[in-house]
Amino acid sequence: MGSFIYFIVDALLGLLILAVVLNVVLSWLVAFEVVNLRHPFVRQVAVFLDAVSRPVLRPFQRIIPPIGGMDLSPLIAILILQGVRAYLLPWLFSPIISLFRG
């Protein structure tokens, strides 16, 4: 049971990281006019990715100002989410998993 919850939380964090990366890529594609936000499908994808990644990025955007027009908050958010996935999550779930195994 504990490893199942660990797997779900880890997968959700992975999907959140993917959403942040896709949001960054889409914003660059829009900025370089490769895709157009007036297209309904692109608009829906952009709104969805923004709704998913904005709660994670907003605290970092308040703290870290854009440098030379570049928003570095996605980079910091990805690094912190990866740190949570790699170090904090196993540390938090190891006692729970050991309870169900032993």
Q: Where are the domains of the chain?
A: 2-95
Q: Say yes or no to pLDDT of 4 above 90.
A: no
| Backbone dihedral region for residue 69 (phi beyond 0: left; psi -120 to 50: alpha; all else: beta) | left
- Higher pLDDT residue, 48 or 4? 48
Q: Say yes or no to pLDDT of 102 above 70.
A: no
Give the whole-angstrom CA distance, residue 50 versus residue 22.
Answer: 10
Cross-strand pairs, 67:
70
pLDDT of residue 1: 64
